[in-house]
Chains A and B, each alone.
Chain A
């Protein structure tokens, strides 16, 4: 016996296009799903520096970041058929995969070496210090401006989790605040960022 309840219908809303996101990425992914290596190469040329940049920001160690970036693109190659363009941006899909992979790697590596000794976080969030060159792209400036609009606790919570791969419980330890507070700040921070960036939700 099963009751069927249609979920409330939501608008198929186009999440506002990140500036610079190329709509062709979705069709490139479709070609990649069919085994098209030339399309894959084009895709890599378009998003490689974003994926590598994110992985490297989280992982820090450049050679380890290269390894993980390679794993991410293998994953894209093997799972391109799972991407559905009606449900989100191609670039966001790949960055979501990249972030999870990078965070998994950092947590895995942490078991072998003590990250606290290796990385000095005590100077606070250094999301802008690891950059050799700060991007002047408009959309990147927007992200930095939106981050600067957060409260300090929101910003540190988001930075430590997203850019360094800490769990919220670890963030709470590092900042010496209640874990429940950290979770709330992460959510509040994301709401503020989302609205500031004009992501519709």
Chain B
């Protein structure tokens, strides 16, 4: 199957791709500055098409929505204090050595996003926003076996997106796990359950983060890294 990804920009902006193609195209977006520009213009264009469908509201809708939000917690960033000393003791030495190379200890708190299943769409929009931010800087790391890890960092948005593709398959009881590192304290940023698919992860409040790392961990992930990172990218 040969696909020219540039042809997909229109279908992407119209939400006319299948889920798998959509993910695939998002990884392509990471590589294609011209596509990102086009996507922004197309999304704005599509929103105008959407606005044209404006219809008077059913009378009861507002009340039910106001009632729903009154009882719904907001997915605000969660601040977790890191007890640096305690974590340091718990860390495997080998990881400290790998992660602490030339890092400066910055903040003492790290903010991570709530992971929620039902906000995938918002997550995707957030990822696009970071990747196409005007001040985005990209760093690339080539890993063993032809895999690449790319990180897009926007200082203005204080967010980063890590895009990994081509990771070798693991035994079924092993997974890849992403970490953010503040000083020498790693904090899980989620599992990279790719099954051969490229994946993107959003990292918030990167100004406090010194580096991002990927390790191989037992199924379900670990509280703390248990192996040497296969990739470490400084922020």
Q: In the complex, how many residues of chain A place their beta carbon closer than 8 angstroms to a beta carbon of chain B?
A: 95
Interface flags for B61-92 (1: CB within 8 Å of A; 0: not) read 11011101110111111000000000000000
Alpha-carbon gap, A100 to B127, bound state (A)? 15
In Å, the complex CA distance between A79 and B77 comes to 10
Bound together, the chains give a CA A163 to CA B55 distance in angstroms of 14
**Contact present for A53 and B41 (CB under 8 Å):** no
B136 near A7 (CB under 8 angstroms)? yes
**How far does the alpha carbon of A91 sit from the alpha carbon of B52 in the complex, in Å?**
12
Q: Is B170 an interface residue (CB 8 A)?
A: no
Number of A-B contacts (CB under 8 A): 251
Minimum distance in angstroms from B178 CB to a CB of chain A: 15
Q: How many residues of B contact A (CB 8 A)?
A: 71
**Pair B43/A88 contact, Cβ less than 8 Å:** yes
State which of A12, A79, A131, A188 has its C-beta within 8 Å of the C-beta of B122: A79
Q: Are B41 and A199 in contact (CB under 8 A)?
A: yes
Residues on the A chain within 8 Å of B16, using CB: 161-162, 166-168, 171, 186
Q: Chain A contact residues: over half helix, strand or loop, or mixed?
A: helix
Of the stretches B4-12, B184-192, B215-223, the one at the interface is B4-12
- The residues of A that contact B50 with a CB separation of less than 8 Å are 50, 54, 95, 98-99, 162
Please determine whether B11 and A78 come into contact, CB atoms closer than 8 angstroms. Answer: no
Of all chain B residues, the one with the shortest Cβ separation from A164 is: B16
CB of A64 within 8 A of chain B?
no
Listed in ascending order, the chain B residues whose CB lies under 8 Å from chain A are 7-11, 13-18, 33, 37-38, 40-58, 61-62, 64-66, 68-70, 72-77, 116, 118-119, 121-122, 124-126, 129, 132-141, 151, 156-157, 233-234
Beyond A48-B57, A162-B15, list 15 extra A-B contacts (CB 8 Å): A2-B151, A3-B139, A44-B62, A57-B55, A78-B122, A79-B75, A91-B47, A97-B125, A99-B47, A140-B52, A158-B14, A163-B49, A183-B11, A190-B14, A199-B45
A-B contact pairs, 24 of them (CB 8 A): A1-B141, A5-B140, A7-B33, A9-B134, A49-B55, A49-B57, A53-B55, A56-B55, A69-B61, A70-B65, A74-B65, A74-B68, A77-B72, A82-B126, A86-B156, A88-B129, A97-B121, A99-B15, A135-B54, A162-B15, A166-B16, A171-B16, A184-B10, A199-B45
